[in-house]
Amino acid sequence: MMGRIRTSNRMFTAVCLSLGAAASVWSHAAAIEPGDWAQYNYDNRGWRFNHAEQTLKASNVATLEEKWRFPTRGSTEEIGVVHATPVVVNGYVYFGTTRTQPSFYKLTPDGKLCWCHEIESIVTAEHGDPYIEHGLDATVDGVMNSALVDDQRVYFGTFGGQLICLDRFSGKLLWKVNTKREPFSAAHPSNTIMSSPILADGKLIVAGGGFEHALGAIPDYPCCSGRGFVAAFDPESGESLWGYTVGPEPERFDPLVAIEFDNGNRIDRAGGEILYQTPKYQGPPVADMRASKDTRILALPSALGGLQTGCGFDGERVYANGTDWPGLAIALQGAASSRTNPIIPPSAGRVTAIAPNTLVEHWRHERPRLHHTNLDDGEKFTCGDPVGSGVALTDELVFFTTTLSGELTALDSRTGKLLKTIPIGPVWCGPSVSNGRVYVGSGSDLFTAWSSKEQAKARVGFSLPTTEIGAVYCFGLPDDDGAQFSQQENCPQRKTD
């Protein structure tokens, strides 16, 4: 066993537009330091464990307070939803947005705008986007993943399928790749990039693939020909170095394979049999699936169940973020049928510390059940509080956000004791921790109905709190004045007209 490593909206838009053409000489900061959270999983090991963080402790995290938010409290400026963990290098914060004014931002250590790159969307009829062509007009472009920051550049993917590289200091566009079109080797009109890039062996590695989930139910759409891909690019030029397509070449089945959706999984508690699960494929029978009677089920394996992305590891324990929402299968079915069936609310959410061999459960933080009222129709539910975000670890702490209650939460990593909660509103973004501060984005527009122009736009059953605007928050200790951050990174001169 490895040992433990201990302005106004109009003015604001003008800022985004003006900086794309900015050109000057910017002072360059030092290399990425251990305390920086420079990519989604902190580093390429994927542990989401900042072992260099020594300021925040179990003894002081209860005193966390808001240092700043962007846009500022009460501001008339608006930014879009922040779905992915903010990246932080030398106190400067990098993140992208979707839905409202999709853009990518760099903030100073005190939460001021350094630069903004407005994303030129390719989710348009002019670009032949299949969602737009088939009337699924709820589709938007933007950033659903965390960026990667190196000594000189910032890399990120977009929901529209672009891989973009910006100059870290000026925000100037250096190159971009459209994965929807040739010459990209795995080009497909429905391609999207939701994964966060990494650097390995001097190559920029990114994964993506065809996003045809709601298109498959449209009779005249020749579903489904998109494939997943993993690709490598030259980080300086964006030149494609190699591409790997995931899975077999798509083919048509004759007879067709039907998929039946139901309310999710049902497990017989006494006998351990999985009675049925979602999706259930109609076809040749398969061997019986059974779960041992003494199995500790961390999360039901369903459309949104199981262990979510962003589990953490500190060298001794795995910190798994579980969600039980088998009823989301109805929501996904409703993407094509306008939610004609009630959406069953989530049953539970939790974070669990287990041994790497899964044989020992050290502690379990079970989220309390909540009384929830839909914002749109006033329908009332009693339901679980999913943990859909990634966790962030330090030597003593586990940070995460809660989807329904909308809280940034901190636990003692040794005991699972709840130490701090901070309400931030609708959220799906996970936190990052860097140099004594915790950063998190807010807003969520996930799991709303896909509605074509010919379909009713009814919302039936449970619905998550959603919003089309977001914010980024920074929390620190009361005596933290930001002196730990170097101010040597000059920001561009910003126009506000």
- CB crowding 405-430: b at 16 or more within 10 Å, else e: bbbbbbbbbbebeebbebebebbbbb
SS3 44: coil
- Residue 305 is predicted with a pLDDT of 62
Q: Longest Cα pair distance anywhere in the chain, in angstroms?
A: 69
Here the tokens at position 73 are 């409290």
- Residue 248 is predicted with a pLDDT of 85
ω into residue 255 within 30 of 0, thus cis?
Answer: yes
- Residue 128 is predicted with a pLDDT of 82
List helix spans (H) across 257-354.
328-337
Q: Is 400 exposed, middle or buried (0-12, 13-18, 19+ CB in 10 A)?
A: buried
Backbone torsions φ then ψ of 40, nearest 5 degrees = -55, -50
Say how far residue 222 (Cα) sits from the centre of its chain: 29
- Residue 435 is predicted with a pLDDT of 97
Q: pLDDT under 50 in the chain at which residues?
A: 1-15, 17-29, 261-265, 269, 276-291, 293-294, 334-339, 449-457, 495-497
C-alpha 235/C-alpha 203 separation (Å) is 6
Type of residue at 25? V
- Residue 327 is predicted with a pLDDT of 63
Here the tokens at position 431 are 């936190």
- Residue 285 is predicted with a pLDDT of 39
Say how far residue 82 (Cα) sits from the centre of its chain: 8
- Residue 284 is predicted with a pLDDT of 40
202-222: per-residue pLDDT in tens? Answer: 999 999 999 887 777 677 788
Q: Where are the beta strands (DSSP E) in 112-270?
A: 113-118, 148-149, 153-157, 162-167, 173-178, 191-192, 198-200, 203-210, 228-233, 240-246, 259-260, 266-267
